[in-house]
Structure 1
Amino acid sequence: MAGEELEFICKADEVKERASVKFAFRQGELEIEGFLIRMDGKFYAYVNECAHLPMSMDWGDNDFFTQDGGRLMCKTHGAVYVPETGLCVDGPCPGRSLVPIPIEVKDGSIWRIKRRIPRDI
């Protein structure tokens, strides 16, 4: 939306196809870790927290994709998510979703739209 504040994440060409870039931002006193992915040429960003339990999905290694690169997966309990929607389709929390982070692609860069991210914990 016009007039919304943006925060730089990275250059678009830094995110390879079916790969990810982690980033952090502040929301009040809370620091939130997110990850940005590129899937079929489009970009999506989510809070790095499984919908099953509030823990990081990647064990700190910035690896969110299944071996075949078709889905996102939490390495702790095996929850599997659709990259384009964040919806869990297999594992311990089917029907639940990752928390999306609003982004904008502008002038060859990816920007986080500075909106409040809902937090349940």
Structure 2
Amino acid sequence: MLYLCASHELPEGQSRGFTLTQLKLLVVRRAGQVYAYENRCPHRGIPLEWQADQFLDESGSLIQCATHGALFLIESGECVSGPCAGQELSLIPCREDDRGIWVDP
């Protein structure tokens, strides 16, 4: 497992991007749970954000591809709207403990 950040550095309802060597990640906290995905749109293979750490739609309830507007469920990574509907973001196993947030790429 690789350390990403302290728990307080990912507040409720927020997202953050990370780069681990060659792997770009996006991490979101929703309803106290942390979700990690590869930061790569299944439609074109490009990063999802248009600004640093900006992965969520205006409502904060879906992950959004800034280039094509595709929308993904935070809990599963499934695309529910846009050019890649039915596809999914690549889930990265993660866990949180008293030391912070960890991923297993």
- Does the 8 A contact of 1:38 with 1:44 survive in 2? yes
> 1:75 and 2:66 equivalent?
yes
TM-score norm. by structure 2 comes to 0.94
Give the CA RMSD over aligned residues.
1.1
Which amino acid is 2:62 matched to? Answer: R
Residue in 1 aligned with 2:81? 90
> 1:66 and 2:57 equivalent?
yes
**How many residues are treated as equivalent by the alignment?**
105
Residue in 1 aligned with 2:30? 39
Residue in 2 aligned with 1:12? 7
**Long gaps (5+) in structure 2:** none
- Does the 8 A contact of 1:13 with 1:108 survive in 2? no
Residue in 2 aligned with 1:119? none
- Does the 8 A contact of 1:22 with 1:36 survive in 2? yes
The separation in 2 between residues aligned to 1:108 and 1:66, in whole angstroms, is 29
Q: CA deviation at 1:112?
A: 1.0
Question: Superposed, which structure 2 residues align to 1:101-120 within 5 Å?
Answer: 101-113=92-104, 115=105
- Does the 8 A contact of 2:16 with 2:54 survive in 1? no
1:10-58 CA-to-partner distances (Å, cap 9, x unmatched) read 01111111211211113xxxx1110111011100001111111100100
**Long gaps (5+) in structure 1:** 1-5, 116-121
